[in-house]
Amino acid sequence: MDFMLTKKHEMARSLFKEFAEKEVKPLAQEVDETEIFPRGTVEKMAKAGFLGIPVPKEYGGQGCDPLTYAMCVEELSKVCGTTGVIVSAHTSLCCDPIQTYGTEEQKQKYLVPLAKGEKLGAFGLTEPGAGTDAQGQQTKAVLDGDEWVLNGSKIFITNGKEADIYVIFAVTNVVTDAKGRSKKMISAFIVEKGTPGFTFGTKEKKMGIRGSSTYELIFTDCRIPKENLLGAEGKGFGIAMHTLDGGRIGIAAQALGLAAGALDRTIEYVKERKQFGRAIGAFQNTQFQLADMATKVEAARLLVYKAAMAKATQKSYSIEAAQAKLYAAEVAMEVTTKAVQLHGGYGYIREYDVERMMRDAKITEIYEGTSEVQRMVISGALLK
Amino acid sequence: MKIVVCIKQVPDTKGGVKFNPDGTLDRGAMLTIMNPDDKAGLEAALRLKDQYGAEVTAITMGLPKAEEVLREAMAMGADKGILVTDRVLGGADTWATSQTLAGAIRNLEYDLIITGRQAIDGDTAQVGPQISEHLGIPVISYAQKIEIEGDSVIVERQYDDRYHVLKAQMPCLITALAELNEARYMTPGGIFDAYDAEITVWGRADLKDVEDSNLGLKGSPTQIAKASDKVRKGAGEKVALDPTEAVAYIVGKLKDKHVI
């Protein structure tokens, strides 16, 4: 067992760190304030290969491992939660299912431009009545000749209006199981922006990750080619759940980055801020808070890296991903809250990064499976 | 086209500078980066590669740890990396360094050699031109723009208030300024490939046509009398006064200090 990163991982981290400091950090506050999607940053990330890190080279990717990808999301999120989730949703939720379930033609047509960063990806599973209960899908897809016809809507979609290629889930059949209950058969589809009948609804005004373009997707008699079915018909629920296992590693890395970033800012701040004639870092309360924060960040990091490595080596990594996301998200919330507290009144002011980080952190306990869902996944495995 | 780029691993001055008792830099104990002018030279070579097609070889002389800077160069897009390292080469000044690098480059085919103008640790700007002298090829220093035309290079050479456009037949050596370009980032896949690739390591025995008396500390005419870290200046004093009052204030301060 070796907890040391290899030299190539260390160098990759230094790359992500340098990029985040130079290209992402200077814009983070403005992206949050204006809620404008950082298109210029995405283009720079595409050029630097950040949009296809774990995708094999033959499909336009970088051919690195999930750990390298997780470190990228971590370093970006240390300075900007919005930028972290843009990469995470694109990579884990769009590239990954096409890589895993796509046909060779689908990979050539969609995965290659996604991994090269020429196109941006998104994932549409959630509906107004189907959040944690993903089986409650209402969006339908009906085969009509050589085309699937989609009707319905998806909400809270990250990269919503900015993406080019979407992995969308819809009910394709309703069957009766052995116990006489009706069961929705869900299938996955690849939908391109600009397809007639595919439009955008409301842009969500969010508490955090405010630049990430969260939109409602609307499908009205949207006809897509038959060959855009992703994976086998009726197997969409399994595809969605497996995809979310990977997505949770990305979100766990985002949460880790937010926590680590807030800790970094706080360490800088307590050395400078003086009260009662001394830096507040000289007070034992500050020291003990920092010690707890740093220890939890490190514990979260080990869980996230372990999950990322499990994705590279194991067929199933649901438990590792759920544990990493559950813990990292809760650490992100706790550490960013403490960071604000240690900043005192300044921590409540938007000029200070920790204010944004605390707002950004909350969503990590909710999206891609709430903390409660992660506990269900973990306990389900324990009691099997 | 074959391009050789000389790069140097230098102390990251943001991380503090440490010295050996003899006044030379304790390179093993410092955080390091690729010298900024060299990085611009590498970027220039990679752009020529993108534009015209070229094989880019990065070469460095240093401790075994300097292989990191070669991996970085390869992660940016260099095709090969050569590390020249040997105990007998340690403590070299610019003369011994240029002799070493020229001795190594004599083993290579090249149309163009690009070096940085100067390294941030020594600030001499001598190694590049000296290499060209040893190899008997033309040098164009302080390049702010590089183009290829047939078997020649056309280079804008920067001066304080103007630039010269110079044309030289290849093979030729160019020294690059950090302002020449903005270097690209490494790519994650490039990093993985760079660590899977073999770095060529050469020692004294691999240097061609170089006398021992021109190598290492013994072959260095420059002797360091004393070196020390920069003493940090105070923050200074800022006052907001109108021009007449400001002049009186400054004159008063200078008189107080017996400067005038």
Give a yes or no: residue B224 inside a domain: no
The three-state secondary structure class of A373 is: helix
Rounded mean pLDDT of A238-258?
A: 97
Query: HEC states along A137-194?
Result: CCCEEEEECCEEEEEEEEEEECCCCCCCEEEEEEEEEEEECCCCCEEEEEEEEEEECC
Residue B231 is predicted with a pLDDT of 66
Asked if residue B258 is part of any domain, the answer here is no
Q: Is the pLDDT of residue B205 over 80?
A: yes
Name which of B39, B72, B185, B199 to mutate to probe chain A: the one with the most chain A Cβ atoms within 10 A of its Cβ.
B185
Task: Tell me if B248 is assigned to some domain.
Answer: no
Position of tokens 């991996």?
Answer: B71
How many residues appear in chain B?
260
- Per-residue pLDDT, averaged over A204-233, amounts to 97
Closest residue in A to B72 (Cα) is A11
* Nearest-by-Cβ selection for A15 from B68, B185, B195: B185
Range scoring the smallest mean pLDDT among A329-343, A349-363, B116-130, B229-243 = B229-243
Pairing of strands A182-192, A165-176: antiparallel
pLDDT at A189 > cutoff 70: yes
User: N- to C-terminal Cα distance for chain A?
Assistant: 28
Q: What's the complex ipTM?
A: 0.93
What pairs with residue B32 in β-bridges?
A: B11
What confidence score (pLDDT) does residue B125 get? 80
Residue B55 forms part of a structural domain:
yes
Given the residues A43, A74, A368, A372, the one annotated as active site: A368
Residue B35 lies in a domain: yes
pLDDT of amino acid A47: 96
Nearest Cα residue to A200 out of A230, A167, A162: A162
Mean pLDDT over residues B29-49, rounded?
A: 91
Contact A317, A96 (CB under 8 A): no
The number of distinct structural domains making up chain B is: 1
Least confident range from A133-142, A249-258, B67-76: namely: A133-142
Q: How far apart are CA A209 and CA B167, in angstroms?
A: 53
Query: To the nearest whole angstrom, how far is the Cα of A65 from the nearest Cα of chain B?
Result: 10
Distance between CA atoms of A183 and B7, rounded to whole angstroms?
65
Q: Is the dihedral of CA A340, A345, A350, A353 positive or negative?
A: negative
Least confident range of B141-155, B180-194, B227-241: B227-241
**Amino acid identity, position A374:** Q
- Asked if the structure places residue B219 within a domain, the reply is no
Work out whether strand B55-61 and strand B80-84 pair parallel, antiparallel, or are unpaired: parallel
pLDDT 10s digits, B58-96: 999 999 999 999 999 999 999 999 999 999 998 888 899
Q: Report residue B12's pLDDT band, with 50, 70 and 90 as the boundaries.
A: confident
- Give Cα separations from A116 to A56, A84, A119 (angstroms): 11, 18, 8
A2-11, A87-96, B171-180: which has the highest mean pLDDT?
A87-96
Cβ contacts (< 8 Å) between A57 and chain B: which residues? Answer: 189
Mean pLDDT of A114-131: 95
Chain B CB contacts of A19 below 8 Å = 185
Q: Which residue of B has its CA nearest to A58?
A: B189
Q: What does the pLDDT read at residue B27? A: 67
**pLDDT above 80: residue A108:** yes
Residue A54 and residue A91 in contact, taking contact as beta carbons nearer than 8 Å: yes
Residue B193 lies in a domain: yes
Of A7, A47, A49, the CB nearest to B188: A49
Structure tokens at B229: 């870290």
Examine residue B232 and state whether it is found in any structural domain, yes or no: no
What confidence tens digit (pLDDT) does each residue in A17-75 have?
999 999 999 999 999 999 999 999 999 999 999 999 999 999 999 999 999 999 999 99
Q: Give the pairing of strands A140-144 and A121-124.
A: unpaired
Q: Which residues in chain A are contacts of B72 at CB distance < 8 A?
A: 11
Q: Residue A1 — very low, low, confident or very high, per pLDDT cuts 50/70/90?
A: confident
Give the residue carrying structure tokens 């813990």: A327
Nearest chain B residue to A61 by CA distance is B189
Instruction: Report d(CA A199, CA A166) in Å as an integer.
Output: 12
CA–CA separation, B6 vs A236, rounded Å? 54
A11 contact residues in B (CB cutoff 8 A): 68, 71-72, 75, 186, 191, 194-195
Asked if pLDDT for residue B19 goes beyond 90, the answer is no
DSSP chain B: -EEEEE--EEE-GGG---B-TTSSB-GGGS-EEE-HHHHHHHHHHHHHHHHH--EEEEEEES-GGGHHHHHHHHHHT-SEEEEE--GGGTT--HHHHHHHHHHHHTTS--SEEEEES--TTT----HHHHHHHHHT--EEEEEEEEEEETTEEEEEEE-SS-EEEEEEESSEEEEE-GGG--PPPP-HHHHHHHHHSPPEEE-GGG--S--GGGSTTTT-S-------PPPPPP--------HHHHHHHHHHHHHHTT--
Categorize the per-residue pLDDT at B32 as very low, low, confident or very high, splitting at 50, 70 and 90.
confident
User: Which CATH number goes with the domain that contains B157?
Assistant: 3.40.50.620
Check if A368 is active-site: yes
State how far the alpha carbon of A372 is from the alpha carbons of A239, A360, A379, B55, in Å: 21, 19, 10, 55
Q: Which pair of structure tokens corresponds to residue A152?
A: 């319905």
Q: Is the confidence at residue B232, as pLDDT, over 70?
A: no
Closest residue in B to A22 (Cα) is B185
Task: Choose the closest CB to B188 out of A18, A47, A53.
Answer: A53
Instruction: Match 């706080």 to its residue by tokens.
Output: A266
Residue B142, domain extent = 2-214
Measured in residues, chain A has a length of 384
Residue A196 in this model has a pLDDT that exceeds 90: yes
Token pair for B194: 């760079």
